Amino acid sequence: MKKKLMIIFGSLVGIVVIGLLVAGNYFYAEGIKRGTDIELHSEPEEVNAEASETALSIIAEAEEWYANQEPEVLEIQSYDDLTLKAGFLENDSNSGKVVILAHGYRGQRDQMDDLVKFYDDQGFDVLMPDARGHGESEGDYVGYGWHDRLDYLKWIDLLIRKYDATDIFLHGNSMGAGLVLMTSGEDLPEEVKGIIADSGYTSVKEELEHQLKYLYHLPAFPILDITSGITKVRAGYFFGEASAIEQVKKNTKPLFIIHGDADELVPTEMAYELYEAAGGDKELWIVPNAGHTKAYTVATEEFQQRLQVFIDQALE
C-alpha cells in the first residue's frame, strides 16, 4: 500500500513538473523568443484622447519627412558575435551631436520615425539600431535591454571613432527606455551627455510579473521562475539580473524620465521608483492622460520644449 502511494505521489509530482516546464517554454516562446507577435495590451478609448490637431500635424509631417529619407545602414559585431544593424542619418551641420534612438518591444528602428525630424532640426545625426532579435539585427531572443546595453557601448564607440561624435544622447521608448536606463549604469565615455527614457520599466522581472497578472491573470510564482531558468539556458540571462533600477543607481549622466499617468503596460509607479533610485542630475515628467509611450502624441509641443531644455542644459 505504501509503495503504491509513493508511486501515485511520484507520478503526480512528475505531471506537475512536466506541466510547469511546458508552461515555462510556452511563455518563453511568447515573451522571449524572436518573431512571436503578441498583443500586449489595449488602452481605453478615453486615454490619449487629448492630442490636438497641431500635435497630430507635427507628427504626421515628421513621419512623412522620414519616409523620404534614405538612412545609411551601419553594422557592428556584438560581444557574442551577432551582426547588428542600424539606420544612420547624418546631419549637414557637422555639429558632433548624435542621438541614438532605441525602439520598443517587438519593434524595429523605423518605429522611432516620429522623433527623427525633431532631432535632425536640432542639428543631430541620428542612429537608429535594430535591437538584437529585432528587425535586421541577428539574434534569436529578446534581451529586454540587458544584453543590448553592451551592444550600445559598441554603437557609442563607433560614433566616437568613425563619426567624431562629441555630444551623444540616448533616447528610448518602452523596452528602449529600459535599454538606455540599463546602459546608464555602465562606464560611459564623457561624450555621452544625457539619457531620455520614455515609459521604462524597473526590471524585466517586475515588468513580466505585471504582464502575467495583466494579460493572463496568473501569479508570478512559479511560472516566471521556471521561464527565467529556461531563459538563462537559452538566452543567457535571468530576469532578476536584468534590472534598470539597479543600473540607474550607478548613473552619472543627466537623466530625463517621461511616463504617462494612464500607462497600463508599464505601471506609472515604476517611473517614480526609477527617479528615486537614479544617481546624477535627473528630471521626472508624468504626462496627464497619456498611455504607454503616448506622451509625445498627447503633448507634442510641450514634449519638444521640455526635451529641448533638457538637451540645452545637458550641453552646458
Residue 174 forms part of a structural domain: yes
Q: What is the mean pLDDT of the chain?
A: 90
Residue 234 lies inside a defined structural domain of this protein: no
Residue 48 pLDDT greater than 90, yes or no: no
- 222 contacts: CB under 8 Å, gap ≥ 6: 20
Report the distance separating Cα 51 and Cα 298, nearest Å.
4
In a domain, 2, yes or no: no
Residue 4 lies in a domain: no
Which residue carries 562629441 as its cell?
166
The answer to the question of residue 62 being in a domain is yes
Instruction: Provide mean pLDDT across the span 284-313.
Output: 96
**What pLDDT does residue 221 have?**
83
Q: What are 101-111's pLDDT values in tens digits?
A: 999 999 999 99
DSSP labels, 19-76? HHHHHHHHHHHHHTBTT---------TTTTTT--HHHHHHHHHHHHHHHT--PEEEEE
Query: Does position 250 have pLDDT exceeding 80, yes or no?
Result: yes
How many Cα atoms occupy the beta-carbon half-sphere of 246 within 13 Å?
9
Residue with cell 531644455: 309
Predicted confidence band of residue 220 (pLDDT cuts 50, 70, 90): confident
Tell whether 44 is covered by a domain.
Answer: no
pTM, to two decimals: 0.92
- State the sign of the Cα–Cα–Cα–Cα dihedral 17, 21, 26, 32: positive
Q: Kindly state the average pLDDT of the residues 224-228.
A: 94
Task: Give residue 41's pLDDT.
Answer: 55
- Residue 280 CB contacts under 8 Å (≥ 6 apart), including other chains: 251, 252, 253, 254, 255
Model pLDDT, residue 39: 55
The whole-angstrom separation of Cα 143 and Cα 197 is: 17
In a domain, 154, yes or no: yes
**99 lies in a domain?**
yes
Domain that holds residue 179: 51-203+242-315
Number of domains in the chain: 1
- The pair phi, psi for residue 176, each rounded to 5°, is -65, -35
Write the CATH number for 57.
3.40.50.1820
Instruction: Report d(CA 186, CA 173) in Å as an integer.
Output: 19
Neighbours of 235 (CB within 10 A): 22
| d(C-alpha 191, C-alpha 212), whole Å | 39
- Would you give the distance in Å from CA 266 to the centre of its chain? 11
